[in-house]
Amino acid sequence: MTRKDAPTAAPARAITKEDVARAAGVSHITVSRVINTPEKVSPATRERVESFISSMGYIPNMLAGGLASRRTRIVAAIVPTISHSIFAETVRGLSEQLSLQGYQLLLGQTNYSEEAETGLVEAFIGRRVDGLVLTGVQHSARTRQRLKAAGIPVVETWDMSPQPIDMLVGFDNHAAGQAMGDYLVRKGYRRMAFVGGDDPRGLARFAGMRAALLAQGAPEPVHLVVPVGSFLQAGRETICRLLALQPDIEAAFFSNDVMAAGAALECARRGIAVPKRIALAGFANLEIATEVLPALTTVQISAHQIGLTAAEMLLTRFDGQTVPEPLCDLGYSILEREST
């Protein structure tokens, strides 16, 4: 750390409603009325107080009672991590849509820990958020109980469940994995590997792929477990490990595009022909899947749309309306590119 011309002190104390009242020569009740029920104040007084509010930079407390029916206009979102482009897109969608209606986003990261999720849910309820967005459909019993007791709208995302806590928008990870397994078998690959984390969504993708392979008489796929939220380097290391472990492997399906891209870059580095020597497939259709050499076959899902839809569901409920489709399956599709 380098010390430069340090500012002399902390900022002055906050400008309060009382400061505005004093400057405008009115009571603080009048200031409150101008903010909350301006129609009950004479136009002259209103204009005068408003000009002091503006020139002094006073911003009314949105959390205080009487404003916006005690709502905080804050929504909390809990994601495994935002350092992973996939969830970042969902958060961006949420934030975009909510901000249009004057709602702000509290963000929590679990690092894929259920215990961390439980703690975050309690912290957010304690801050009286108007609604909560969760990732996935597996939660601790305590989280479920707390959410029920809080009585606020909840949207689960990124998976499907017949019994959501409240609302849900996502896609079926098992079916998506199965579709990729079917596709790879149809392309003629038999000896395959799955590379992914041990989070519920990664495991569901593997189970789906495995079911597709076994149903069509292909051999049991190799399952390489990597740390959750793995990136390029993990993909690079895993493809080396895989080729050493099982030299006759024909195709590898990675639980995310970033890992698959790392594998593609490593194959390029080592002169391993893709897809001739080994086919590679990813998940999510991130930008890197299109841009890497060769371009990656992947499972397209709607990360950004998940965020937008979750926000719309919450806004509908905040508005006192019923959400017509509280279980929204956005689906997935297989995008075939050069890597398979």
For the CB of residue 314, give the shortest distance to a second copy in the complex, in Å.
11
**Helices of type H across the chain:** 17-24, 28-36, 43-56, 85-100, 114-126, 141-150, 173-186, 200-215, 232-245, 257-270, 287-291, 303-318
The interface with a second copy within residues 190-249 (CB under 8 A) comprises 231-233, 236
* Phi, psi dihedral angles at 9 (to 5 degrees): -160, 175
Nearer to a second copy, 220 or 329 (CB): 329
For the CB of residue 315, give the shortest distance to a second copy in the complex, in Å. 14
Single residue of 14, 43, 44, 244 touching a second copy by CB under 8 A: 14
Site for a second copy in 112-171 (CB under 8 A): 120, 122-128, 145-154, 162-167
Rounded Cα distance, 194 and 210, in Å: 9
CB of 118 to a second copy, least distance (A): 12
Any idea how long the chain is? 340
Name which of 185 and 265 has its Cβ closer to a second copy: 265
Q: What is the amino acid identity at position 7?
A: P
Q: Per CB under 8 A, does 18 bind a second copy?
A: no
CB 267 within 8 A of CB 274: yes
CB of 52 to a second copy, least distance (A): 12
| Residue 11 is a binding residue for a second copy (CB under 8 A) | yes
Considering only residues 267 to 306 of the shown chain, the ones binding a second copy according to CB under 8 A are 268-269, 287-288, 290-293
Q: Which is nearer to a second copy, 48 or 146 (CB)?
A: 146
Question: Quick one: 222 exposed, middle or buried, by C-beta within 10 A (0-12, 13-18, 19+)?
Answer: middle
**Ordered strands of the 279-284 beta sheet:** 222-225, 192-196, 251-254, 279-284, 297-300, 333-335
- Taking CA atoms, 71 is separated from 58, 74, 102, 129, 304, in Å, by 20, 8, 12, 8, 26
Q: Does 250 contact a second copy by CB under 8 A?
A: no
Nearest distance from C-beta of residue 163 to a second copy, angstroms: 8
**Binding window for a second copy (CB under 8 A); candidates: 6-14, 198-206, 238-246, 272-280:** 6-14
Which two structure tokens, joined as six digits, stand for 325?
A: 């489709």
Residue 221 contacts by C-beta under 8 Å, 6 or more apart in sequence? 181, 192, 193, 194, 206, 209, 210, 213
Cα–Cα distance for residue pair 172/331, rounded to 1 Å: 7
- Smallest distance, Å, CB 28 to a second copy? 16
Apex 241 CA angle, 238 and 245, nearest 5: 135
Task: Compose the 78-107 pattern: x for residues touching a second copy by CB under 8 A, - for all others.
Answer: ---xxx-x--xx-xx--xx--x--x-xxxx
User: Are 283 and 300 within 8 A, CB to CB?
Assistant: no
- Selected binder of a second copy within 328, 332, 339, 340 (CB under 8 A): 328
Q: Which is nearer to a second copy, 152 or 281 (CB)?
A: 152
- Determine, following the binding rule CB under 8 A, whether residue 23 of this chain makes contact with a second copy: no
Q: Counting contacts by CB under 8 A, is residue 263 touching a second copy?
A: no
Letters for 29-68 (x = contact with a second copy by CB under 8 A, - = none) are ---------------------------xxxxxxxx-----
Name the DSSP class of 69: G
CB of 216 to a second copy, least distance (A): 26
